Structure 1
Amino acid sequence: MTLNTLVPLCLAASIAVAMSACGKQEQAPQAASAPQMPALDLSRIDAPTLSLKAADLDASANACQDLNAYVNGKWLKANPVPADRTTWGSFEVLAERTLAIQHALVEQIAQAQPAAGSIEAKLGDVWRTGMDEAAIDAAGIAPLQPQLEAIAGLKNAGAVVAWLRERYAQGQGFLFSFGGNADYKDSGQVIAYAGQGGLGLPEKGYYFDEDKAQIRQDYVKYIAQLLQLSGTDAAQAQAQAEAVLAFETRLAKASLSRIELRDPAKRYNPVNAMEANGITPHFDWIAFFDALKVPAANKFSLSQPAFFRELDTMLAEVPVDTWQAYLRFHTIDEAAPYLAKPFEQANFDFYAKTLRGQQEMLPRWKRTLGAVNDAMGEALGQLYVKAAFPAESKAQMQQLVQNLSAALKVRLENLDWMSQDTKQRALEKWASFTPKIGYPDKWRDWSGLQTRGDGFLANMQAAQAFNYRWRLDKIGKPVDRTEWGMTPQTVNAYYNSTKNEIVFPAAILQPPFFDAKADPALNYGGIGAVIGHEMMHGYDDAGSQFDAKGNFDSWWTDDDRRLFTERTDQLVAQFDGYESIGGQHVKGRLTLGENIGDLGGLTVAYDALQMALKADPQANKEIDGHTQDQRFFMNWATVWRRNFTDGELKVRLNTDPHAPANFRAIAAPSNMPAYAQAFACKPGDAMVRADKDRVVIW
């Protein structure tokens, strides 16, 4: 996921007033133009085999020393990262099945003759043009040539700014982020947010850290390679590439780190257009808003003003030919996955192979399916839920959410470190949580998107412009609380702080997360802990700064916030102590929100399991020689079985707000006395944290 002004907190991030389980069979809602396709035969698509099995356990490992090794050791040894991947685990295995279903759906469309202008026709255009490798290769750089010629014609800083306005209006802005999100202080209204951006490397540290020097050299080679492929002389390409790196280094110096950006206060700086123009006298925000046909220039968030001051200085100081090199490179880089093979290969070789250690490209059909999802993901989701999401899964999930919500309420009511005033506000937030399960209640309208039967890049840019326009048109209007931030076919979940909602797409509702036929322990240790995780994002270090209505407004007493910070600092220290690859440690501050989600979520899920077993004593039975408590923790670990390439792991340690999976498997259980009791662990065992080090928050 790319870092944006408002980032959903995902698993890979009390719910509402108690919901009753649905007693009737539900069908996915259909828009007026919804595709009507023949039923898909799912029996031809293999289901993943990730359910917990006694035979998978590693007898050479000890659950009291390392839960991850005990549950996942054998699987991890038998399932190395495939050559066309950088990571391989439970999430990826489930994603493979969803991809297979989506593949069957788009192939079904391709063989049909859908009505012109229908959703099927548009999905089919993107799919077929993406699969026509011969036509893409024959076109070369030609599809991008008009944009490159426009860049070549820029004469001064004013022309650069005019070009930026034009390209942003087409959804092709890369110098800074710009879009609509809920106003942090008025969560019912959408305002514009402008934020830092413009970097080609993963994070600002890549421009300065000594151990990243080789990556910077490889990046310069990649920039030069793309410029040469587009027709620039070799010597000029090298000089321009070095100038681009220097250009981006200036932007990086003025940028906040990933850790700093976790603070909502550093993502919100409301100004009007005239005030913004005072910060950037060479960049006219009134003209920018006019070009994008966006209202509400009287209030928007210029989220990192120091970045924009430096950007404005660069408009005045940096020679126009350097600006041209920067704009030319990023224009080609953004389009490279949809251009001829040399461009796509160069893009893969740097970003996937050099940075992350991926040895081979995904097959063409998977790359094209990724593009279809980028272009029309929710449209494809309409077909997906109709083909692959059983109505009973949604009903059972609603019951699980209700049970987790009840357990969270009890825990909040019984906190011994929080005052009654703050506790009352915490319960108000619990009562206002909104869960979303499976798919949206209403689907997007795609009637304005124009696609064509030839031209892969043209279709992708048309979709990019259409989707960006759809997002811009929200600015100045009330927040639409029915919209989703993920597609139904995404194997993930998220929490949105300004909507105070938790969202579970259909694709995650598969084993090991969810199985309608499984014993309670597996569902509570899987999707139950995920539900708890997302709920607890409402009370993590960032989410806890938003109130029950989703406004950025402190609802804590000073003493309670201090006590909370003391506890979260303990969790930071715990993860800072985990050593990963090459002596690099996990960044406890970067991963704090997710770690709070894991610890609180697993704790609440365990409480909910005990409630369920008390209500149905017959379910409290051993299976394969393991108790329900043991199976609960074992399935939690199963969720986090995952291998990484060295390169992928190094990038994630610097950029990912989630800790590596092996640490997520063990960290939360090691803080829970229930785990030690379940496996008869003793003080001093690695999975039993000493009382002085044990972290208890929610």
Structure 2
Amino acid sequence: MGKGKLLAGATGGLLLLASGSALADDDETDPTPDTLAFSIENMDRSVNPADDFLRYASGGWFDRVKRPADQPTFGFMQFIANRISRQMASVLTDAAATSSSAVKGSPAQQVGALYSSYVDVDRIDATGLAPIAGELARLDAVESKKELAAYLGTFSARTGHWPLVSLDIFPELTDVSRNAVYMEMGERALSVDAIYESPEDSPLRTIYREYVSAMLEVADVPAERAKAIAATSLAIDTMLHAGELDPVKKVDKRNVNNPRTMTQLRAESAGFAIDAYLQALGLQEPDRVILVDPDAARTLGKVMAAFTVDELKDYLKLRLLQAFGSVLSTKFEEPKKQVNIALLGAYSEKPREETVVEFMEKSLGQPLGHLYVDNFFSKPKENAGLDMIRRIQAAFRKRIEANDWMAEATRSAALEKVDALYYRVGYPDRWIDYGKVEVGDDPVQNLINLHEFEMARMAAKQNAPVEFWAFSEPLHTTPTVVNAAYDPSINGFQVTAAIAQPPTFSVNRDAPLYFCRLGAIIGHEMTHGFDTGGRNFDAKGNLRNWWTAKDGARFEAEAQKLIDQASAFEALPGTFMNGGLTVTENLADIGGIALAHDALMNYLAEHPDENVEIDGLSPSQRCFIAYSQLWAEQRSDGSMRVQLEDNHAPGIYRAVAPLQHLDAFYEAFDIHEGDPMWLAPQKRVDIW
């Protein structure tokens, strides 16, 4: 399942990946105002900031720049991803050209070979389904549900996908000194919750069935049979969704800590051969398994009872096609295109040379990131990022020391936790060694080899000492992912190389712009250690209550203000945000910009020559405008609906709502009671 599900990230939702003119190392060429570089050109200064701050800060950008019809989301993460794509283009082609002569198993050889195998469309189309003939034969040979359980383990080990059930190994929540096996509901064919919560005759269910039918028909399944399989697949995924813990309840990590002995697990998952499954994954029998979803095992047993072996095999054939679809016939692109248009309202068709980074990030993220860092991430940038972290950490400490409502015991534990923070910027201090993984000219076999390597790494953790590998979570923390992420088990966070660049960060630029962009993201991650979920972990990363009862109650009362504020936000006509789902991220946003502004003020006190007006704007004004402009974005209605299922609020909310909790914001723009932007003091959050 990936530990990423328990990490807290700053950017949120669908984490945008760099998808492929290399520039000079640490290129500091400014992005343009169109790509959300801070600019007064992006403002609408005819608007009073006290009336509509989003419009004041970014109205010029909204008027001038229009979301391309083929892009469901248009904002700074997409702009950074495009920047990385341009940077990496020549690096990838050079790696491909020299792969055969490079040291076998080196990042250059592996990245070059994987790149070449992925972009060789002629070969991919010519081979059709032949590359997965062995995988299909392995599935066809399954004759019983016990064999199916074993096959399911093999499936996940060879594809990196987790249908029906998902397993991972990482530190135990209540004792991070030892690893534990975690289980949760498996992935669905489409990860849009609204599909499975909608009535049987809803358009969303029709979209699902049409997508599955189209995928199967590309694989030469007769149309009528494809429709029948689609209906069964939808029934399976609906049952899996029903077994998942409500995402609002998952905010409190105490709710995802549900240990079971193997005896209990076998009883709850009756009908599923759990021992055969674990053995196929290469795992030993654990003393216990921790259920992230309390009903995961029972739901798995229900699925096994409700569907025949053949029905489950048909479902897994679909999932096999999905797992390898990116390296099978390009005909599989059409169903993907149509379902994206149906759900998101847009789909961008890009040449494979532009999607290759996203493809490689899923399975070769660290070697890819290694090449990126070697070419485009400098030591001065890393040091500047670390300096900013230390400044924001110092500001956080001062805030906790000045907190007047916490008991001394709670404050002492909070200070211990902020002092113990682990952090890294850009890249790891050691890289995972992929050297023994064979990467050649067969893209399907490449994926199998890489996923089996990752599965072996996971299995090796089972009875081994806990060991943390920074920047190693695919799609989440590897260096080319546009993100930053806090991990409660280490009480620390990672800021990827991808996000530490323009328009988020540059070395030696106007301080307010970058303190209140990357600095706010850093503060956001720090605050995650003290949000509604993170506050339940101590300085060592253990799930442990270190709050007095009175302080805990005060915290929850303050958090409720955020839930109420977000729940009143109408993202689309008649469609409101889920305040309970987004509360941790909304609190982190407030902490992020508050800490960034405090750190900025401290910096300017040290550098009074930089404490000047520019274009008639004070440093505080530039800070808040820069922050708001960064989160300006444009979305299709479909993209907005999908985003509302995520625990991160849409950008247009994040661009303004956090600022309304800061006294400094009201002072900077002379906002008073009665103004539209005014949030009554009793509704503002006062925690950190």
* Aligned-pair CA distance for 1:82: 2.8
Q: 1:479 to 1:686 in 2, by over 3 A?
A: farther
Q: 1:328 aligns with which of 317, 320, 327?
A: 317
Q: Which residue of structure 2 aligns with residue 311 of structure 1?
A: 300
* Aligned-pair CA distance for 1:532: 0.9
User: Within 2, Cα distance between the matches of 1:653 and 1:523?
Assistant: 28
Q: 1:421 aligns with which of 390, 401, 409?
A: 409
**2:204 corresponds to 1:215:** yes
* Aligned-pair CA distance for 1:296: 6.0
Q: Which residue of structure 2 aligns with residue 390 of structure 1?
A: 378
Q: Which residue of structure 2 aligns with residue 492 of structure 1?
A: 483
User: Within 1, Cα distance between the matches of 2:143 and 2:47?
Assistant: 67
Q: 1:340 to 1:604 in 2, by over 3 A?
A: same
State the AA in 2 paired with 1:430: V
State the AA in 1 paired with 2:460: D
Contact kept, 8 Å, 2:111 with 2:364, in 1: the verdict is: yes
Q: Which residue of structure 1 aligns with residue 270 of structure 2?
A: 281
Which secondary structure state, in structure 2, belongs to the residue aligned with residue 259 of structure 1? helix
Q: Which residue of structure 1 aligns with residue 109 of structure 2?
A: 121
What's the CA shift string for 1:234-259, capped at 9, x where partnerless?
22221221122122222222222322
What's the CA shift string for 1:505-540, capped at 9, x where partnerless?
122222332222222211221122111111000000
Please list every run of 5 or more consecutive structure 2 residues that lacks an aligned counterpart in the other structure: 13-21
- Listed as ranges, the matches of 1:207-606 within 5 Å are 207-210=196-199, 213-295=202-284, 297-350=286-339, 352-453=340-441, 455-484=442-471, 485=473, 486-606=477-597
Which secondary structure state, in structure 2, belongs to the residue aligned with residue 539 of structure 1? coil
**2:43 corresponds to 1:57:** yes
- Listed as ranges, the matches of 1:28-39 within 5 Å are none
Q: Which residue of structure 2 aligns with residue 34 of structure 1?
A: none
Q: 1:330 to 1:396 in 2, by over 3 A?
A: same
Contact kept, 8 Å, 2:361 with 2:368, in 1: the verdict is: yes
Which secondary structure state, in structure 2, belongs to the residue aligned with residue 692 of structure 1? helix
Q: Select between 103-112 and 230-239 the one with higher mean Cα deviation.
A: 230-239
Q: 1:410 to 1:7 in 2, by over 3 A?
A: same
User: Within 1, Cα distance between the matches of 2:30 and 2:181?
Assistant: 43
Question: CA RMSD, aligned part only?
Answer: 2.2
Which secondary structure state, in structure 1, belongs to the residue aligned with residue 247 of structure 2? coil
- Listed as ranges, the matches of 1:603-614 within 5 Å are 603-614=594-605
User: Within 1, Cα distance between the matches of 2:178 and 2:337?
Assistant: 40
* Aligned-pair CA distance for 1:363: 2.3
- Paired residues, what number? 669
Q: Which residue of structure 2 aligns with residue 89 of structure 1?
A: 75
Q: 1:89 to 1:271 in 2, by over 3 A?
A: same
Q: Select between 113-122 and 545-554 the one with higher mean Cα deviation.
A: 113-122
Q: 1:253 to 1:373 in 2, by over 3 A?
A: closer
Q: Which residue of structure 2 aligns with residue 201 of structure 1?
A: 190
* Aligned-pair CA distance for 1:204: 3.9
Identity %: 29
**2:9 corresponds to 1:10:** yes
Q: Which residue of structure 2 aligns with residue 148 of structure 1?
A: 136
Which secondary structure state, in structure 1, belongs to the residue aligned with residue 290 of structure 2? strand
Contact kept, 8 Å, 2:585 with 2:648, in 1: the verdict is: yes
Q: Which residue of structure 2 aligns with residue 177 of structure 1?
A: 166
Contact kept, 8 Å, 1:496 with 1:502, in 2: the verdict is: yes
Query: What's the TM-score, normalizing by structure 1?
Result: 0.92
User: Within 1, Cα distance between the matches of 2:347 and 2:619?
Assistant: 41
User: Within 2, Cα distance between the matches of 1:326 and 1:553?
Assistant: 41
Contact kept, 8 Å, 1:333 with 1:347, in 2: the verdict is: no
Query: What's the TM-score, normalizing by structure 2?
Result: 0.93
Which secondary structure state, in structure 2, belongs to the residue aligned with residue 173 of structure 1? coil
Q: Which residue of structure 1 aligns with residue 674 of structure 2?
A: 684
Q: Which residue of structure 2 aligns with residue 667 of structure 1?
A: 657
Contact kept, 8 Å, 2:25 with 2:378, in 1: the verdict is: no
Q: Which residue of structure 2 aligns with residue 104 of structure 1?
A: 90
Q: Select between 241-250 and 527-536 the one with higher mean Cα deviation.
A: 241-250
State the AA in 2 paired with 1:300: V
Contact kept, 8 Å, 2:151 with 2:277, in 1: the verdict is: no
State the AA in 2 paired with 1:261: K
Q: 1:44 to 1:530 in 2, by over 3 A?
A: closer
User: Within 2, Cα distance between the matches of 1:166 and 1:387?
Assistant: 37
State the AA in 2 paired with 1:310: T
Which secondary structure state, in structure 2, belongs to the residue aligned with residue 193 of structure 1? strand
* Aligned-pair CA distance for 1:436: 0.6
User: Within 2, Cα distance between the matches of 1:67 and 1:212?
Assistant: 42
* Aligned-pair CA distance for 1:646: 1.6
* Aligned-pair CA distance for 1:604: 1.6
Contact kept, 8 Å, 2:568 with 2:576, in 1: the verdict is: yes
Which secondary structure state, in structure 1, belongs to the residue aligned with residue 683 of structure 2? coil
Q: 1:237 to 1:56 in 2, by over 3 A?
A: closer
User: Within 1, Cα distance between the matches of 2:199 and 2:682?
Assistant: 37
Q: Select between 3-12 and 114-123 the one with higher mean Cα deviation.
A: 3-12
Contact kept, 8 Å, 2:173 with 2:543, in 1: the verdict is: yes
User: Within 2, Cα distance between the matches of 1:211 and 1:650?
Assistant: 19
Contact kept, 8 Å, 1:497 with 1:550, in 2: the verdict is: yes
**2:610 corresponds to 1:619:** yes
Contact kept, 8 Å, 1:492 with 1:508, in 2: the verdict is: yes
* Aligned-pair CA distance for 1:681: 1.6
Q: Select between 667-676 and 507-516 the one with higher mean Cα deviation.
A: 507-516
* Aligned-pair CA distance for 1:46: 6.4
State the AA in 2 paired with 1:690: A
* Aligned-pair CA distance for 1:143: 1.6
State the AA in 1 paired with 2:122: A
* Aligned-pair CA distance for 1:133: 0.8
User: Within 1, Cα distance between the matches of 2:613 and 2:370?
Assistant: 40
Q: 1:510 to 1:116 in 2, by over 3 A?
A: closer
Which secondary structure state, in structure 2, belongs to the residue aligned with residue 502 of structure 1? strand
User: Within 2, Cα distance between the matches of 1:630 and 1:334?
Assistant: 48
Contact kept, 8 Å, 1:529 with 1:605, in 2: the verdict is: yes
* Aligned-pair CA distance for 1:457: 2.1
**2:62 corresponds to 1:76:** yes
Q: Which residue of structure 1 aligns with residue 18 of structure 2?
A: none
Please list every run of 5 or more consecutive structure 1 residues that lacks an aligned counterpart in the other structure: 14-38
Q: 1:643 aligns with which of 631, 634, 638?
A: 634
User: Within 1, Cα distance between the matches of 2:481 and 2:460?
Assistant: 25
State the AA in 2 paired with 1:234: A
Contact kept, 8 Å, 2:259 with 2:288, in 1: the verdict is: yes
Q: Which residue of structure 1 aligns with residue 19 of structure 2?
A: none
* Aligned-pair CA distance for 1:598: 0.7
What's the CA shift string for 1:543-568, capped at 9, x where partnerless?
11111110111111111111100000
Which secondary structure state, in structure 1, belongs to the residue aligned with residue 508 of structure 2? coil
Q: 1:606 to 1:46 in 2, by over 3 A?
A: closer
User: Within 2, Cα distance between the matches of 1:5 and 1:609?
Assistant: 31
Which secondary structure state, in structure 1, belongs to the residue aligned with residue 678 of structure 2? coil
State the AA in 2 paired with 1:127: Y
Q: 1:43 to 1:474 in 2, by over 3 A?
A: closer
Contact kept, 8 Å, 2:559 with 2:583, in 1: the verdict is: yes
* Aligned-pair CA distance for 1:172: 4.1
Which secondary structure state, in structure 2, belongs to the residue aligned with residue 590 of structure 1? helix
Contact kept, 8 Å, 1:204 with 1:257, in 2: the verdict is: no
Which secondary structure state, in structure 2, belongs to the residue aligned with residue 121 of structure 1? helix
Which secondary structure state, in structure 2, belongs to the residue aligned with residue 188 of structure 1? strand
User: Within 1, Cα distance between the matches of 2:2 and 2:198?
Assistant: 21
Which secondary structure state, in structure 2, belongs to the residue aligned with residue 195 of structure 1? strand
User: Within 1, Cα distance between the matches of 2:187 and 2:604?
Assistant: 53
Q: 1:271 to 1:307 in 2, by over 3 A?
A: closer
